[in-house]
A and B are shown apart, each in its own frame.
Chain A
Amino acid sequence: MDCQLDIFFLEAVLNGLLLAGLLALLALGLNLIFGVIDVVWICYAELVMIGMYGIYYAHKGGVPLLLAALFGILLVALAGAVLHQVVIRPVLDSAPINQLLVTGGVLFFLQAAATMAFGVDFRNLGIRFGSITLADMSFSYSRIITFGVALAAMLVLWLFLSRTYVGIAIRAIAQDRQIMPLMGVDQRRIYLITSAIGGGLAGLAAALMVLQYDIYPQIGLQFGPLIFMICVLGGLGSLIGGFVAAFIISEFIAIGGSCFATEWGYAIAFLFFMVVIFIRPQGLFGGRS
Chain B
Amino acid sequence: MRVSRTALIGLPILIALPLIVHLLFGGSEKYYLHLLIQILIWSFIYTGWSLMGRFGLTSLGHGAFTGIGAYATVLLWNYAGLTPWLGVPVAMVIAVVVALLVGYPCFHMRITGHYFALLTLALTEFIRLCIVGLRDYTGGSLGTQPRRYGDGVSLYAMQFEPDRVLSYYIVLTLWLVGLYIWWRVDRSMDRFALDAASQDEEAAASVGINVTREKLKVTAISAAMCALGGAIYGQYQMYIGPDTIAGLSVSLNIVFACIAGGLWVMLGPTVGAVFTQVLSEVLRVSMQSSVTLQALFGSAVLALDTLIYGLLLILFIIYMPKGILGALLEKREKTSSAPTPPSRAVLR
Contact = CB atoms under 8 A, between A and B. Distances in A.
Interface in A106-154: 106-113, 115-117, 119-120
A148 B342 CA distance: 59
A275 to B, nearest CB: 9
Contact of B304 (A116, A119, A217): A116
Contacts of A109: 306-307, 310-311, 314
Contacts of A277: 111, 115, 119
Given A120-B300, A274-B102, A96 B133 contact: no
Interface string A244-264: 000000000000000001011
Interface stretch (B1-9, B231-239, B251-259): B251-259
Given A112-B303, A277-B111, A106 B121 contact: no
A159 interface: no
A108 B126 contact: no
A5 B249 CA distance: 38
A97 B56 contact: yes
A165 to B, nearest CB: 30
Contacts of B348: 95
Contacts of B300: 115-117, 119-120
Contacts of A264: 129, 133
Given A105-B310, A106-B314, A108-B306, A40 B256 contact: no
Contact of B313 (A40, A104, A110): A104
A270 B122 contact: yes
B42 to A, nearest CB: 17
A257 to B, nearest CB: 11
A232 B115 contact: yes
Contacts of B321: 94, 98
Contacts, number: 145
Interface stretch (A47-55, A60-68, A186-194, A221-229): A221-229
Contacts of A166: none
Nearest to A274: B122
Residue among B110, B304, B306 with max Cβ neighbours from chain A (10 Å): B306
A87 B301 CA distance: 25
B36 interface: no
B274 to A, nearest CB: 19
A112 B304 contact: yes
B303 A116 contact: yes
Interface string A221-242: 1001100110110001000000
Contacts of A120: 300
B317 interface: yes
B198 to A, nearest CB: 10
B318 A87 contact: yes
A102 B317 contact: yes
Contacts of B129: 263-264, 266-267, 270
Contact of A281 (B115, B133, B307, B318): B115
Interface string B267-300: 0000000000000000000000000000001101
A232 B110 CA distance: 15
A261 B133 contact: yes
Contacts of B169: none
Interface string A8-34: 000000000000000000000000001
B347 interface: yes
Residue among A90, A105, A217, A236 with max Cβ neighbours from chain B (10 Å): A105
B118 interface: yes
B192 interface: no
18 contacts: A87-B318, A95-B347, A100-B114, A101-B256, A102-B317, A105-B256, A108-B307, A108-B313, A109-B311, A110-B310, A111-B306, A112-B305, A120-B300, A221-B248, A236-B114, A263-B132, A267-B130, A277-B111
Interface of B: 56, 58, 102, 105-106, 109-111, 113-115, 117-119, 121-123, 125-126, 129-130, 132-133, 248-249, 252, 255-256, 259, 297-298, 300-301, 303-307, 309-314, 316-318, 321, 347-348
